[in-house]
Amino acid sequence: MRIILARHGETDYNKNKLVQGHTDIPLNEEGISQGIAAGKKIEGYTIDVAYSSTLGRAFDTARYMLDNSNSEENKNLSVIKDKRLIEKSYGEYEGVSFAEYGAGLKAGETRGMELDSDAADRVEAFFKEKHEEHPDKTILAVCHGGLIRSFLTQKGIKEVGRGVIVNTSVSVLDYDGERFELIEFTEEGFKAVLTQAPYRVSAMKEGDEGEYTVNDVTDWIIYTDEMSIDPNTAYLL
């Protein structure tokens, strides 16, 4: 079974760096544009079955992708919601800023957050069931960044740091019912703007903007040629 695994488009919570989790925040205008543009990412595929999280931001992204993939077959597909594709529950962190979330994790505060391993297990169970139903088909599954990171990392498919699955990124996997093989992992660039000068980096100042890829960021750390920058030394939009 071929799996096209995608994250939803941008929401206002994404834009404002707030933790979403199970909170049902809709796509904003940028997220709608991203969903439409993401249709090109699946142009080379005829999707047999399409699934999404039960949250609107994922369902709507799946619909935009299918409708803008230059395929009448894809346009005619229904999107099936499945609760196993919902984002990780972040417990009492939902609605708080990324800064508070990061500080809480550093202090060892779980605040009722779902374990990465539990989130990954439900995604694996979903794909195992779908393989039994559609072993030779191509499926689209649109869900969430935290969930995708947990799944890829916990199942030993690819080590992925927090915050690096960007909006509408697409990963492609093959699955034989036992083993997942990662075929494609999109490394899309994104811009980061310093909202405060790093404390110990004299060459960088407030307002500096850079272009980064997922390889530049691991667990809230940006690696440069000469140093690493983390939330303790810089604040990023």
Domains and CATH numbers, the chain: 2-185 (3.40.50.1240), 190-236 (no CATH)
Instruction: Walk along the chain (237 residues) and give the pLDDT tens digit of each residue.
Output: 999 999 999 999 999 989 999 999 999 999 999 999 999 999 999 999 999 999 999 999 999 999 999 999 999 999 999 999 999 999 999 999 988 988 898 899 999 999 999 999 999 999 999 999 999 999 999 999 999 999 999 999 998 876 668 899 999 999 999 999 999 987 555 566 666 666 555 666 777 776 655 455 445 566 566 566 665 555 444
pTM, full prediction: 0.82
Terminal-residue alpha carbon distance, the chain: 38
Q: DSSP state, 120? A: H
CB atoms within 10 A of CB 187: 12
Tokens of 170: 């697409």
CB-hemisphere CA count at 13 Å for 20? 25
Backbone angles phi, psi at 144, to 5 degrees: -140, 155
Tokens of 57: 């931001």
- Give residue 165's pLDDT: 84
- Give residue 47's pLDDT: 97
CB atoms within 10 A of CB 175: 18
- Give residue 212's pLDDT: 59
Tokens of 41: 């990412």
Q: Which amino acid is at 131?
A: H
